[in-house]
Amino acid sequence: MKLKFETQKITYKDSFKLSSGKEIASCEIAFQTYGQLNKEKSNAIMICHALTGDQFCSGINPLNKKKGWWDILIGPGKIIDTNIFFVICSNVLGGCMGSTGPSTVDPKTRKQYGLNFPVITISDMVKLQVRLIDSLGIKKLFAVIGGSMGGMQTLEWASRFEKKVNAVIPIASSYRHSAQNIAFHEIGRQAIMADTNWKSGNYYGSKQKPKRGLAVARMIAHITYLSESALQRKFGRNLQNSKTFSFNFITDFQIESYLKHQGSSFVERFDSNSYLYITKAMDYFDLSSRKGGLTNAFKNNNLSFCFFTFTSDWLFPTSETKTIIKSLNTSNAKVSFVEVKSDKGHDAFLLDEPEFHEILGGFIEGQIIKQGI
């Protein structure tokens, strides 16, 4: 898979040690920046993307020519105002949009890694982000913000690198993946690996890619991002192109057509092996499994937190966030929490949700005053 686009990159020639104990000989991080870094370098915000996201969070994505995945929030005069802030968004380690991942050429073999790429974790992703801000000369971030897997990254920042950030905003996320979430991811991975074109991960250079398997994985995952009420409201049992059933296996229902479109469009911008690695990283994430559990993860933490959940999000329900908050209440952290009423499911954090945007803007304004930006 080779996608042509322009992005900023930094290559680290020294070995990058992973949580597994393995090392990557040379590591590259692809990123985009928006706005200007101030003289004091105190106005930087790190945006952490979700599973299928990328570094193009604002403006126009050079690949699909569509607006960035969080353009609704990030830009001049918007909630995350690039007239005020220097926004950084990087493609995660293991990704397929320029950062080192399974589709990257291994400098030792001069062939693409494929499954020879070592398994990674959320912690590894964040450690590479820390290298990035160090390279940019930023000692402390104004805030780190992310939804879903991006929220996991924000919590990793808070747990491991609390001295490098002032405020943390985890959205529609959790301190761990539930058994149900792991199950959905495993079905997706099996769909990819069952595709005969997957070839044990060695499909690079071949004209035939495991597109069907990846499309099915995307369709399965996409269902988890929505709510039953939103699906019913938008599609119901409406037929796609007819007033009667076809009585065969073509696309009868609008919801079928929608999911097929989600799958087919996804395979043009994402790498199947990256999907395997990133979903596994999410499954491994569990702050409560570390020594001392959640309480120790945020011990003596005096950061400012602002958590957001959505009432119809069954992938990362509000109860998961409340568990984190209970642990934070035993530390010195300053915690705000909002459950936003919405029927849009997990994907609500990416959509036009006025209450979410208004409260997020208020928290950021409060931090501007507090931090003296």
Domains of the chain: 8-177+289-371 (3.40.50.1820), 181-279 (1.10.1740.110)
Contact 124, 83 (CB under 8 A): no
pLDDT in tens, 140-185: 999 999 999 999 999 999 999 999 999 999 999 999 999 999 999 9
pLDDT in tens, 21-79: 999 999 999 999 999 999 999 999 999 999 999 999 999 999 889 999 999 999 999 99
The CA distance from 258 to 281, in Å, is: 28
346 catalytic? Reply is yes
pLDDT of res. 298: 87
Q: Give the side-chain half-sphere CA count within 13 A for 131.
A: 24
Q: Which of 90, 99, 103, 148 is catalytic?
A: 148
Q: Which of 99, 271, 346, 347 is catalytic?
A: 346
pLDDT in tens, 187-215: 999 999 999 999 999 999 999 999 999 99
* Section 4-16 average pLDDT: 87
Q: Which of 123, 313, 327, 342 is catalytic?
A: 313
288 CB burial (10 A radius; 0-12, 13-18, 19+)? middle
Helix axes 272-284, 122-135, angle to 10 degrees: 100
pLDDT of res. 64: 87
Q: How confident is the model at residue 4 (pLDDT cuts 50, 70, 90)?
A: low
Contact 137, 171 (CB under 8 A): no
